[in-house]
Amino acid sequence: MTHDISSTIKYMQGWNDEPSLDRLKKSHKSLDVQKSNAENHLKNVALRFQYAPNQSTLALWAKDIIDSGCSDDNLEAVCKSIPFKFEKMPTLNQIMELLRPYMAKASVSVDELNDLSHRCYFHLKAKFMTFGTQEQLTGMCKIYADKIFPASRMFNAYYQEMLVLNDWLRSYFKKGDAILQQGLISNEAFERNDREYFVRSLRSYAKENKL
């Protein structure tokens, strides 16, 4: 099954995800600048605490935050409040919770599927990282794009990982080929516009993990 750029736009419009469409149009340089600024904001706030993640981890956090749709300005505002709210350096999930109001303002028309996907992403990724690596996840995203959904090459890393992690959830956390097989099932569900298929597992996961 092949998908061209028009089907990519249709796929994202089907989620009422206008902010993501806007991000597709932004230049790579612009994203790099935002990620660099975000990393600096995280490093500055980390200096306020005795124990904090190393620079490599903060760089990954910055990438995840910007790829999720938050701006470096949003993160800067949140970082200014962190020393007054936490005795220890907060986790990435805690920072994302502080950023949630900014994300809501940027996407007031987000529907249930899009909202659940964003809410579950970081929890699913953290679960994946308990036995896998970022390199393995990136490799799976490449295979997924090659064999399952070629149009995902147009997505940023955040959305590529979201597709893979969501199908990993739907496969009941099986590995390798099981994720790809689930991806084929997801393709079929998308073609028949079966929205409940995509929402069902995310809704249950969010409820189970209080996301």
pLDDT digits 0-9 by tens, 128-183: 999 889 999 999 999 998 888 887 877 888 889 999 999 999 999 988 889 999 99
Q: Which residue would you say has higher pLDDT here, 68 or 188? A: 188
Whether residues 205 and 119 share a domain: the answer is yes
Whether residues 34 and 71 share a domain: the answer is yes
Among residues 80, 108, 136, the one where a domain terminates is 108
Whether residues 91 and 177 share a domain: the answer is no
The total number of structural domains that make up the chain: 2
Averaged pLDDT score across all residues of the chain: 81
Q: What is the pTM of this model?
A: 0.54
Share of the chain above pLDDT 70, in %: 82
10 part of a folded domain:
no
17 part of a folded domain:
no
Whether residues 204 and 152 share a domain: the answer is yes
pLDDT range class, residue 11, cuts 50, 70, 90? low
Output the pLDDT for position 31.
75
State the residue range of the domain holding 65. 26-108
Whether residues 80 and 33 share a domain: the answer is yes
Output the pLDDT for position 140.
93
136 part of a folded domain:
yes
Output the pLDDT for position 106.
46
Residue 92 pLDDT greater than 50, yes or no: yes
Q: SS3 string of the chain?
A: CCCCHHHHHHHHHCCCCHHHHHHHHCCHHHHHHHHHHHHHHHHHHHCCCCCCCCHHHHHHHHHHHHHCCCCHHHHHHHHHHHHHHCCCCCCHHHHHHHHHHHHHHHCCCCCHHHHHHHHHHHHHHHHHCCCCCHHHHHHHHHHHHHHCCHHHHHCCHHHHHHHHHHHHHHCCCCCCHHHHHHHHHHHHHHHCCCHHHHHHHHHHHHHHCCC
Whether residues 127 and 179 share a domain: the answer is yes
Whether residues 118 and 104 share a domain: the answer is no
Residue 185 pLDDT greater than 50, yes or no: yes
pLDDT digits 0-9 by tens, 48-81: 999 999 999 999 999 888 877 788 888 999 999 9
Among residues 108, 129, 156, the one where a domain terminates is 108
Among residues 69, 88, 108, the one where a domain terminates is 108
